[in-house]
Structure 1
Amino acid sequence: MIDPRAALPHTGDENPPFGDSSPMTTAAVDSAILSRRALFRGSSLLAAGAALSGLPFGRALLAHDVSESWPNVAAMANRYVSERKVANMFLTFGWGTQEDHAHTVGGGTLSLAKPAPVDENSLFRIYSMSKPITGMATMILIDEGKLGLDQPLHDILPAFRDMRVLVDPEGPLEDTVPADRPITIRQLLTHTAGLGYQIISKGPLLAAYNENGLVGGRVSRMPIPGFPPVTPAPGLEAWADRLAGLPLMYQPATKWSYSCSIDLLGRVIEVASGMEFEAFLKQRIFEPCGMNSTWMQVPQSEAYRLTDNYGIVAGNAFPLDPGVNSIYLDPPEVPAGGGGLVSSPKDYDRFLRMLLGYGKIDGVRVMSEEAVRVGTSNLLPASVDTTGSWMEGQGHGAGGRSVDQTFGWGGAAGTLAAVDYGLKLRSTLFTQYMPAEAYPVRDEFLAALEKDIAAMRAKQAA
């Protein structure tokens, strides 16, 4: 069982838990997708749910035609699609745990070049929305006593016992000092282990990541100008071993820095469980949740459901990874728990519904209530300085942002997902373009929500 004391109280302002998380290879798009501007700055879903819960027709609205209930949100989605900025923008809203079928806003097609419409069963590259799934898989093993939240990583992976830390994160790899303390599972869950990332690291450390094939998610079969090709490490075990041979960017438990730590947890899960990483996800999360459309490799028989992913250059969309010939039809060299999954809106809503049900869905117990409560709480080590980071004034749980009673994360191709425990609300936004910062979708979504709330309140007051 998990020690309840491990669940620190939620902290921070009311920013929702939508981060522009972007696990990609060096063939990825500009790292500008990671900027603070790409995050929601406001209380969007919190305010939305608060408005609805305070209105006599709030719950009925979520249980019926959501496009009519959220006209500005629908208009935003329809505008992006009609102006062909994206092929699709598909949102889901679900209320509580009994409402087993989330309702939708928006639409579009699988491709700008094809008429097939998207729906709840269409397949999207969710990139860093994989992180909360891997985080909850880790919490299952912690709950079962096969891992400890504050257990040293080197107990599981001995190669990480004597880590070195760069004096300058962008400096020479030889200029290091010993780590002051061991990396722990908590630190891996919260990006506080001091590890680097292809999209964060610079200088010699970035070059070493590339040379060692320390990739996260995949982007395209095609070469992308400005990003040298990288040969991935031959499997997750080799990936972890190579990572252990490189220095850390920061001393463990001192700084929040977006990292490859959730990918490393995939290897931790393998060793602790005795199962291959994706097999564990399938057996312990996907199957009991009824998520039958979530994979690292899309089966060829399901390729017809896979959206095209687009790169945005100067406001124009060009095919970056066509669904019919997607790199996600190939088996991954490295199963990336931080950014390797493809899923459907229906599947991801079921994952959120399981979290909203504190580990239970349709009468099936997937996780213990305690594991969910701890995993969605603020797990940041007390010694971590978040000043100047995305987490300043906020919290981070098992693979996702934890703010007040909300938990969730976003993906590099524009996707978003969150649960709000206070409001019993689950919500997702699916689209497919990179970099996510190419369009102000998050800010416009916030503005649209606020307009719809104002209209609801005005109608109530009339």
Structure 2
Amino acid sequence: MKRFWLAGGVAALAIAAVSGATAFGQVATSPPPRDAAAATNAVPALTRAYVADRKAPGIVVAYAKGNRPPLFAAAGAIADGADAAKAGPDSLWRVYSMTKPITGIAAMMLIEDGKLKLDQPVSDFIPGFKSMKVLTDPANSLAARPAARPVTIRHLLTHTAGLGYTIVTKGPLLQEYERLGIVPAALNPGVEPNLRKVRPGSLKEFADRVATLPLIADPGTKWSYSISLDVLARVVEVAGGMPFEQFVQTRLFAPLKMTSSYWSVPPSETGRLATNYLWTGENRIPIDPGEGSVFAAPPSFPYGGAGLVMSARDYDRFLGMLVSEGALDGVRVMKPETVRLAMSNLLPAGVVFDRAPGGSGGDTAPKMGFGAGGSVYLEGVPGGPGKGTYGWGGAAGTIAWVDPTNKIRATVMVNYFPSDKWPLRADAVKAVYADLGF
């Protein structure tokens, strides 16, 4: 038996060995980039190698410099098996925590609208957050004292609200998260029914339940990976005056022509959805096939921290808007100053972000801060990401970043747990910057 973090300890996932030969799809790559004389074929080579070395059935990378159309490199298929569809720009992938920057940007839109303020108390939108408490003996009890200050929008954006996550929380608080169904993510149809028995049925109910639980630290004092972007989704729908998923569709997906981004994949599109795998030792076990996927059914509510399925083409359009400071294809969705603020270091004074927790899909760099749902480089890396690089990754291996200094954007799509089974982030960063002349 293997306890899987996305299930938050509510259920254990029993993995049975699967017999049979593995077949890989044919390689499909775009022409190599020509941004500089030093350009290479590193990204297409990377995708081919990951499939040939059996690290993934398929992989897609979208990358570009400036406001140019993306280059796509793809290899393999969306699943093991000779009849699996080839992986390509419009294949669908579970992006899990790469949902967080999208939720963060949605909140920044409301800040631009004047409907939210960075340092506004969350209790203005979720009254239950009015009198939060902080654990005094987290290892042994739920005993708590009043919080030193209110939880704010800034805290939710930057994982400094003092909230927990089943990936990191321990002790009695973890048990309460499990009891109350504070597990805003989907794994597979095998464990989903049990999670739905206890998970809240709406964002409002979710946020209200979270507000009844003590915090792990005083707001604004500690960076801790958390459910804060899921709570922020509730703030967005209250401040935005419409359901969260409708706000995201209206303000982001529709104007940016992101037509392959789903909270639940329609039946007509499941043939594009990659299978998700779990690595157990050197064995790759399918745990959520595209057909019949848990993501083909409506979620309990839209998970602002981990709920989206998207194509590489769509996520690239989101990044393209950011690298162009709020506009894409002549359509402006945000002011440049709002985008710059979102991708700046928003951490409260004195709070440090060192690195992402293992398996989260997050980034690691010499010196980092945190912005609106994603990490921010506080200094550049020679030959690599520049100062201000913003982005995040997903639990199933996906990666995305925007480098405003060098005007680079990149999205990497695979689907397997754990995300750090292979050094894909390091490999992809090196290949993208090599191909774009750095």
TM-score, structure 2 normalization: 0.85
Aligned ranges 1:276-355 → 2 under 5 Å: 276-355=243-322
Q: Which residue of 2 aligns with 1:80?
A: 50
User: RCO higher in 1 or 2 (8 Å CA, sep ≥ 6)?
Assistant: 1
Taking structure 1 as reference, are residues 447 and 425 closer, same or farther at Cα in structure 2, changes over 3 Å only? closer
Number of equivalenced pairs = 399
Residue 168 of structure 1: CA displacement? 3.2
Match of 2:163 among 195, 204, 217: 195
1:264 is matched by which residue type in structure 2?
A: V
1:180–1:252: 8 Å Cα contact kept in structure 2? yes
2:85–2:272: 8 Å Cα contact kept in structure 1? no
Aligned ranges 1:412-423 → 2 under 5 Å: 412-423=395-406
Q: Which residue of 1 aligns with 2:145?
A: 177
1:154 is matched by which residue type in structure 2?
A: S
Residue 167 in structure 1 maps to residue 132 in structure 2 = no
Partner of 2:77, secondary structure, is strand
2:354–2:368: 8 Å Cα contact kept in structure 1? no
Taking structure 1 as reference, are residues 137 and 110 closer, same or farther at Cα in structure 2, changes over 3 Å only? same
2:182–2:199: 8 Å Cα contact kept in structure 1? yes
1:23–1:339: 8 Å Cα contact kept in structure 2? no
Q: Which residue of 2 aligns with 1:109?
A: 77
Taking structure 1 as reference, are residues 366 and 29 closer, same or farther at Cα in structure 2, changes over 3 Å only? farther
Q: Which residue of 1 aligns with 2:19?
A: none
Q: Which residue of 2 aligns with 1:155?
A: 124
1:152 is matched by which residue type in structure 2?
A: P
Name the CA distance, whole Å, in 1 between partners of 2:355 and 2:110. Answer: 33
2:98–2:306: 8 Å Cα contact kept in structure 1? yes
Could you report, residue by residue, the CA deviation over 1:13-69 in whole angstroms, capped at 9, with x for unpaired residues? xxxxxxxxx983326999xxxxxxxxxxxxxxxxxxxxxxxxxxxxx9635899x94
Residue 164 of structure 1: CA displacement? 0.6
Taking structure 1 as reference, are residues 63 and 351 closer, same or farther at Cα in structure 2, changes over 3 Å only? farther
Residue 401 in structure 1 maps to residue 375 in structure 2 = yes
Residue 135 of structure 1: CA displacement? 0.4
2:10–2:178: 8 Å Cα contact kept in structure 1? no
Could you report, residue by residue, the CA deviation over 1:406-441 in whole angstroms, capped at 9, with x for unpaired residues? 111111111101111111111111111001122232
Name the CA distance, whole Å, in 1 between partners of 2:313 and 2:157. Answer: 26
Aligned ranges 1:3-402 → 2 under 5 Å: 24-26=6-8, 62-63=33-34, 69-97=39-67, 99=68, 101-113=69-81, 114-173=83-142, 175-223=143-191, 231-386=198-353, 393-402=367-376
Calculate the aligned-residue CA RMSD, in Å. 2.8
Partner of 2:6, secondary structure, is coil
Name the CA distance, whole Å, in 1 between partners of 2:253 and 2:202. Answer: 22
User: Gapped runs of 5+ residues in structure 2?
Assistant: 13-30, 358-363, 378-386
2:33–2:41: 8 Å Cα contact kept in structure 1? no
Taking structure 1 as reference, are residues 427 and 301 closer, same or farther at Cα in structure 2, changes over 3 Å only? same
User: Gapped runs of 5+ residues in structure 1?
Assistant: 1-21, 31-59, 458-462
Name the CA distance, whole Å, in 2 between partners of 1:105 and 1:236. Answer: 37
Partner of 1:311, secondary structure, is strand
1:214 is matched by which residue type in structure 2?
A: I
Taking structure 1 as reference, are residues 23 and 186 closer, same or farther at Cα in structure 2, changes over 3 Å only? farther
1:120 is matched by which residue type in structure 2?
A: P
State the identity as a percent. 43
Name the CA distance, whole Å, in 1 between partners of 2:323 and 2:42. Answer: 26
1:62–1:95: 8 Å Cα contact kept in structure 2? no
2:123 is matched by which residue type in structure 1?
A: H
1:232–1:334: 8 Å Cα contact kept in structure 2? no
Residue 79 of structure 1: CA displacement? 2.2
Taking structure 1 as reference, are residues 230 and 408 closer, same or farther at Cα in structure 2, changes over 3 Å only? farther
Could you report, residue by residue, the CA deviation over 1:145-190 in whole angstroms, capped at 9, with x for unpaired residues? 11111001111111001001011333311x2111000000001000
2:323–2:404: 8 Å Cα contact kept in structure 1? yes
The structure 1 segments of at least 4 consecutive aligned residues displaced by more than 6 Å after TM superposition are 27-30, 227-230, 387-392
Residue 386 of structure 1: CA displacement? 4.2
Q: Which residue of 1 aligns with 2:384?
A: none
Could you report, residue by residue, the CA deviation over 1:121-157 in whole angstroms, capped at 9, with x for unpaired residues? 1100000110110000000001111111100111111
Q: Select the structure that is richer in helix.
A: 1
Residue 387 of structure 1: CA displacement? 6.3
Residue 447 of structure 1: CA displacement? 5.5
Taking structure 1 as reference, are residues 168 and 77 closer, same or farther at Cα in structure 2, changes over 3 Å only? farther
TM-score, structure 1 normalization: 0.81
1:197 is matched by which residue type in structure 2?
A: Y
2:46–2:428: 8 Å Cα contact kept in structure 1? yes
1:26–1:229: 8 Å Cα contact kept in structure 2? no
1:256–1:389: 8 Å Cα contact kept in structure 2? no
Taking structure 1 as reference, are residues 345 and 28 closer, same or farther at Cα in structure 2, changes over 3 Å only? farther
Taking structure 1 as reference, are residues 296 and 84 closer, same or farther at Cα in structure 2, changes over 3 Å only? same
1:120–1:345: 8 Å Cα contact kept in structure 2? yes
Partner of 2:397, secondary structure, is coil
